[in-house]
C-alpha cells in the first residue's frame, strides 16, 4: 500500500511540474493541499510500519519493493479473475439442467463487457510490474514465454488453478 500511494504522489507531483497547470489558483491550491495531506498520511503509515518515511520511499526501486508491487498487482489480478469467473460461470456451466434465457445471457455478457476496462487496467498494471521487475533483477527470464505480456483474451481463458497464480 505504501509503495502504491507513493507512486500516485510522484505522478501527481510530476504532472504539476511538467503538465498543464490547473485553470485556477483555487484548483492548484486544492491539488497541493491533497498532496500535503497524502504525504502526512504516508508519514503516519511509515511510522505504523516502524520505518522511516524517506527510507521506505527509497525502497520502492529495490528488489523487495518491486516484488511487493508485483505481488500486489498479481493479487489484484487474481481477485479480478475470480470475479470474472463468477460472472461467466452460468454461461460455461455444463449442467444439462442449467437453461439460461436469452435475456439473462445478454445481461451477463453486458456485465462482462462493462468490466473489460477495469480488467484491462489490472492486466496492464500486472504486465508493467512484472516487466519492470524482470528487466531490473532477472533479464534472462524476461524472454521466457510465460513472462510475455498477457492479453485480455489470454486472461479470460485462464483457469483459476493456472500456474501463474500458484507460482
In tens, the pLDDT along 76-130 reads 999 999 988 887 777 766 555 556 677 777 777 787 777 788 899 999 999 999 9
pLDDT of residue 133: 92
Q: What is the pLDDT of residue 167?
A: 66
CB 72 within 8 A of CB 10: no
Report residue 2 as a C-alpha cell.
505504501
Reported pTM: 0.66
Residue 93: its pLDDT value, please?
64
- Give 12-29 pLDDT, tens digit per residue: 777 777 777 778 888 888
Amino acid at each position: 500500500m505504501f509503495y502504491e500511494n507513493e507512486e500516485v504522489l510522484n505522478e501527481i507531483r510530476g504532472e504539476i511540474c511538467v503538465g498543464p497547470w490547473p485553470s485556477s489558483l483555487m484548483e492548484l491550491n486544492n491539488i497541493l493541499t491533497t498532496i500535503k495531506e497524502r504525504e502526512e498520511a504516508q508519514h503516519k503509515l511509515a511510522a505504523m510500519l516502524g520505518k522511516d518515511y524517506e527510507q521506505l520511499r527509497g525502497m520502492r526501486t529495490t528488489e523487495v519493493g518491486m516484488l511487493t508491487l508485483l505481488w500486489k498487482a498479481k493479487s489484484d489480478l487474481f481477485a479480478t479473475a475470480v470475479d470474472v469467473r463468477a460472472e461467466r460461470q452460468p454461461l460455461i456451466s455444463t449442467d444439462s439442467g442449467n437453461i439460461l434465457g436469452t435475456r439473462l445471457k445478454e445481461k451477463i455478457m453486458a456485465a462482462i463487457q462493462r468490466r473489460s476496462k477495469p480488467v484491462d487496467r489490472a492486466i496492464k498494471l500486472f504486465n508493467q510490474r512484472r516487466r519492470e521487475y524482470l528487466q531490473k533483477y532477472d533479464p534472462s527470464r524476461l524472454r521466457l514465454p510465460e513472462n510475455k505480456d498477457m492479453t485480455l483474451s489470454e486472461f479470460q481463458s485462464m483457469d483459476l488453478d493456472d500456474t501463474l497464480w500458484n507460482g
